[in-house]
Amino acid sequence: MLNFLTRRLVAGLLTLFVSLFLMYVLVDIAIDPLADLRESTAPNKQQLIAARIELLDLNTNVVVRFLQWCGGVLHGDFGIAWKTGESVSDLVAHAIGSTLQLVTAATFLSLVVGVVVGIVSALRQYSAFDYVIIFLSFLLYSLPSFWVAVLLKQWAAIGFNNFLRDPWIAWPTLIGVALIAGLLWSLAIGGSAARRWQVFGIAAAATFGMFAYLQLTDWWLEPKIGPILLLVMGAGTAFAFAAVFAGLHNRRALWASLTTVAVGFIAYFPMQTVFKMDIFGPSGNGASWLILLLAVVAIGVGFLIGRLYGGPDWGVSARTSAAVAFVMAALIFVDKVMQVWPPYSKALGGRPIPTFGDRTPGLGGNYWVTVLDSFTHLVLPTATLVLIAFAAYTRYSRSSMLEVMSQDYIRTARAKGLPEREVVVRHGFRNTLIPLATIVPIDVITLIGGAVITEAVFSRPGMGQLFVKSLEEAQVDPVMAYLLITAGLAIIANIVADIIYAVIDPRIRLDA
Amino acid sequence: MSTSTPQNPQAPEDPTAASSSTENAIELKDVVGLSQGQIVRKRFVRHKGAMLGLLFLILTALLAFTSVGFGPVPGWWQYNGRETNLAVVEAGGAPTMHLPSFLGGPGFAIGDHPFGQDELGRDMFARVMLGVQTSLKVMFIIGLVSCILGILVGALAGFYRGRLDSILMRLTDLFITVPVLVIGAVVGKITGGVSAAVFAASMGLLLWTSLARLVRGEFLALREREFVDAARVAGASSPRIIFKHILPNAIGTIIVSTTLLMSSAILLETALSFLGFGIREPEISLGALISQYQQAFSTRPWLFWWPGLFIVIIALTINFIGDGLRDAFDPRQKRIPSDRKMSRADAVSRRPAGVIPMQTQDTQGRP
């Protein structure tokens, strides 16, 4: 293992060095820092050009300049963006924060939704649902991201903001939405005709009921979860997780999850006081760390509840209740964020979905307002990335699941009489994740450097924007810093993918 | 392979479920006397999605190349997309194409400017068609260049192994290290003023890496097979073994991944043009059109729809063709009817007074 790591790291560093050298030369050819001066009509044009050449050291050979740049990087000096005189380290530090927000949210969402839909689609191979999903994923996969981004910006954002002015959905529209939702659920769950009708009815009624509730309680203007909805949603999550991860016949897991929900429900009330502490105020610091800590505590409590229920297979209960606890914690967090929605919406003049930037300048407010502000700024870019990544993950997980489900060990698992849930979740799903585990790290890393288009359309000041802007403005140092980071991360991602592969698939040996 | 489908194993085994030997016999009947190429072609033609994709791609290409013409050949459309200040037909240069009345439109019409006019009065239909031409050209050139390069690098690395392999693979790593969009932006900036063909060729010089890795993998596996040994014993030279014996066996992987590469290439080209690093005026590409008209969205949204729509059509058709090719080349792919169709067929075959289905009839113990 160690041998493998050193070998790969040395090879990676060499590749990095050579690729950076090539990039430096290419960028040097591509940019022309003197372009604006050549066309200037200033009387002291020659002097200005000479000064610029002096500033950027343009008379030195490009190879020497590259080596100087490398020397600087080794000392932790990434140079300066000469147009503004800012240090590149500061620029990158700001940009990478904005990009990470976007990438984390988008990857997490698209991965969860994509894998679930892909697996369901594979389990219903050649059914109507499967065909709908195949076509949808092909369509989304073929969409140019900038086109989607601009359409979302122009239609979804502006349309939704207009809708908020007078939030009322016509009843026929709601019925139509409910019928479509019912149809999709019945196709996804499948089974006999009677079962399909049953699922269709329940899903359509539930969807209609949910929208009617939102509509009648003026939820669109004052979104909140509140204790009652928290309890309902928590119980639903507990049943769903227990059914998938443990099977409903495993009463211990079910009771553990439900207990977790009850604990979360009780914790909701003291948490409201905790959330008013000074650390969440306008001048508070480290609130994000506290939230992270609370999330970890929640997961720990869930795990403990599962453990205390004991039984021969306590691991299943512990895992299930930990997952439920995480969802409960997230719901409580979201509820708190939603509570600041009315004043926030008012502060933005009733048009709360912004179409550019990553924060509202000069907004002020406490931690919760800041969080809500970055959420609303994330909605559209995340939607863009999710739509396209969702298609890719659906396709991967579908084909991977099909491959796994045709293996002999699945037939063996069925032959020895395991319930279908166990065959799918334990034998099928886990092995489906193996190829995905090698794709995801590389995807995430590519996204960190590569959300270029989404960032350009929504003018989010992230890494992609940093690169594109600097390249346009002929600033070599920020461009090279960007390339150093993306190339370095790409090399690391490849090594990580190999290691993950070896860890989860014992047939692969890295030292062979 | 059993006939039970993954989703419903508890369903009673269907009485027609035959022993695997009968099933193999039925399967073989489908392909008996056909060459590998014929089998693949037959499967491809049967793939509905792929055939529809091919049809739409051909129609789009025909429309684009005949309407405005290309090179010295004139087209049948009255404008070439470069005349400015044409008379504005509809208010604001809106499209003159209308839906037929049964779809809620004011009656079907094509009119002078079916896709509308831009702020300079130019005909949008002609401009979109020029953009489609460029995008198709760019796509095929990228596909061709990267396919040739990928095959060469992959074949050499996989066949000769050893030092050549490690040099070529390190080179591939080098190209993979930096995101394609980044190299594309730099190349686009350098080649900014040149034609679409040169731009496409330089993009092709960058996109061969994934194909090279796949081809190398195929070659590493295939070179150990007996038919390669046989060819070598018979005195075949290395180039002959590479091109005559191994390459045809790897052609499935190559064709499929080239198709998928082409569909991502068209998105990449449009994305680069959108960022301003790709094809620029006076050349027209679909991405450049969208980028150019992005600002006009609120006043003339149709300028924005049509180029995007054609990008989606082209990428979608190519993806479907690629999917059909993959299914056609994959010998494990089998078209299994859905549960419901199976049970319906079952019910039909059971109806004639419980006759035992033919395949399971026991012919041994009968007089």
pLDDT for position B17: 46
A144 touches chain B (CB under 8 A): yes
Find the closest chain B residue to A124 by CA distance.
Answer: B7
Find the closest chain A residue to B175 by CA distance.
Answer: A19
Alpha-carbon distance of A167 to B85, in angstroms, equals: 44
Residues in B closer than 8 angstroms to A420, CB to CB, are 9-10
Token readout for B273 is 């043009």
pLDDT single digits (tens) A241-270: 998 888 888 888 899 999 999 999 999 999
pLDDT for position B355: 45
The length of chain B in residues reads: 367
- B172, B174, B175, B179 alpha-carbon torsion, rounded to 10°: 130
Residues in A closer than 8 angstroms to B276, CB to CB, are 472
- Positive or negative, the CA dihedral B148, B150, B153, B157 is negative
The stretch B349-355 carries a mean pLDDT of 57
Contact yes or no for B119/B296 (Cβ under 8 A): yes
pLDDT single digits (tens) B152-168: 999 999 898 888 888 89
Q: What percent of chain B has pLDDT over 90?
A: 16
Could you say which of A125, A450, A453 has the minimum Cβ distance to residue B274? A453
The stretch B94-99 carries a mean pLDDT of 71
**The Cα angle at residue B327 between residues B326 and B328, in degrees rounded to 5:** 90
Which residues on neighbouring strands pair with residue A86, listed in sequence order? A81
Which one has a higher pLDDT value, A177 or A51?
A177
Write the DSSP string, B58-95. HHHHHHHHHHS-BTTB--SSS--S---SPPP-SGGG--
Is the CB of B271 less than 8 angstroms away from the CB of A453? Answer: yes
pLDDT for position A511: 59
Is the CB of A19 less than 8 angstroms away from the CB of B178? Answer: yes
A289 touches chain B (CB under 8 A): no
Token readout for A23 is 């990039």
Is the CB of B7 less than 8 angstroms away from the CB of A124? Answer: yes
Is the CB of A144 less than 8 angstroms away from the CB of B308? Answer: yes
Greatest mean pLDDT range, A136-145, B108-117, B342-351: A136-145
The pLDDT of residue B363 is above 60: no
3-class state of residue B235 by DSSP: coil
What's the mean pLDDT when you consider all of chain A? 85
Is the CB of A142 less than 8 angstroms away from the CB of B10? Answer: no
Residues in A closer than 8 angstroms to B11, CB to CB, are none
Residues in A closer than 8 angstroms to B290, CB to CB, are 144, 146-147, 150
Supply the angle between the helices A88-123 and A430-450 in degrees, to the nearest 10: 150
Alpha-carbon distance of A8 to A3, in angstroms, equals: 9
The pLDDT of residue B27 is above 70: no
pLDDT single digits (tens) A443-495: 877 777 657 888 888 888 888 888 888 888 888 888 888 888 888 888 888 88
Could you say which of A31, A142, A452 has the minimum Cβ distance to residue B181? A452
Greatest mean pLDDT range, B81-85, B215-219, B326-330: B215-219
Of A9-13, A68-72, A466-470, B178-182, the poorest mean pLDDT is in B178-182
Which one has a higher pLDDT value, A304 or B16?
A304
Alpha helices by DSSP H, chain B:
20-31, 36-46, 48-67, 124-160, 162-177, 180-190, 196-204, 209-222, 226-233, 238-240, 247-275, 286-293, 302-329, 339-350
- A352, A354, A359, A360 alpha-carbon torsion, rounded to 10°: -60
Which one has a higher pLDDT value, A397 or A351?
A397
Residues in B closer than 8 angstroms to A141, CB to CB, are 315, 319
Token readout for B71 is 């090179």
pLDDT for position B367: 35
Question: What backbone phi and psi angles, to 5 degrees, belong to A87?
Answer: -80, 140
Reported as a pLDDT band with limits 50, 70 and 90, residue B201 is confident
Number of H helices, E strands in chain A: 22, 2
Which one has a higher pLDDT value, A364 or B203?
B203
A399 touches chain B (CB under 8 A): no
pLDDT for position A239: 92
Of B34-43, B46-55, B343-352, the poorest mean pLDDT is in B343-352
Reported as a pLDDT band with limits 50, 70 and 90, residue B331 is low
Token readout for B294 is 């992005």
The pLDDT of residue B334 is above 70: no
Is the CB of A146 less than 8 angstroms away from the CB of B274? Answer: yes
Is the CB of A490 less than 8 angstroms away from the CB of B304? Answer: no
Residues in B closer than 8 angstroms to A411, CB to CB, are 2
The pLDDT of residue A323 is above 90: yes
Q: What's this model's pTM, rounded to 2 decimal places?
A: 0.81
Of A76-90, A488-502, B74-88, B326-340, the poorest mean pLDDT is in B326-340
Within 8 A by CB and 6+ apart from B183, the residues are A26, B175, B206
pLDDT single digits (tens) A352-403: 787 777 777 777 778 888 888 888 888 888 998 898 888 889 988 988 898 8
Reported as a pLDDT band with limits 50, 70 and 90, residue B24 is low
Q: Which of residues 114-143 of A touch B (CB under 8 A)?
A: 122-127, 138-139, 141-143
- Positive or negative, the CA dihedral B65, B68, B74, B78 is positive
| Residue (of A318, A175, A328) closest to A252 by Cα position | A318
Could you say which of B9, B186, B316 has the minimum Cβ distance to residue A414? B9
Is the CB of A126 less than 8 angstroms away from the CB of B338? Answer: yes
The amino acid occupying position A462 is G
Reported as a pLDDT band with limits 50, 70 and 90, residue A34 is confident
Residues in A closer than 8 angstroms to B268, CB to CB, are none
A23 touches chain B (CB under 8 A): yes
ipTM of predicted assembly, 2 dp: 0.77
Q: Closest approach of chain B CAs to the CA of A364, in angstroms?
A: 31
pLDDT for position B102: 66
The stretch B23-29 carries a mean pLDDT of 66
Could you say which of A190, A467, A487 has the minimum Cβ distance to residue B177? A487
DSSP E strand stretches across A306-422: none
Which residues on neighbouring strands pair with residue B70, listed in sequence order? B73
A35 touches chain B (CB under 8 A): no
Find the closest chain A residue to B320 by CA distance.
Answer: A138
The stretch A277-300 carries a mean pLDDT of 84
The pLDDT of residue B336 is above 70: no
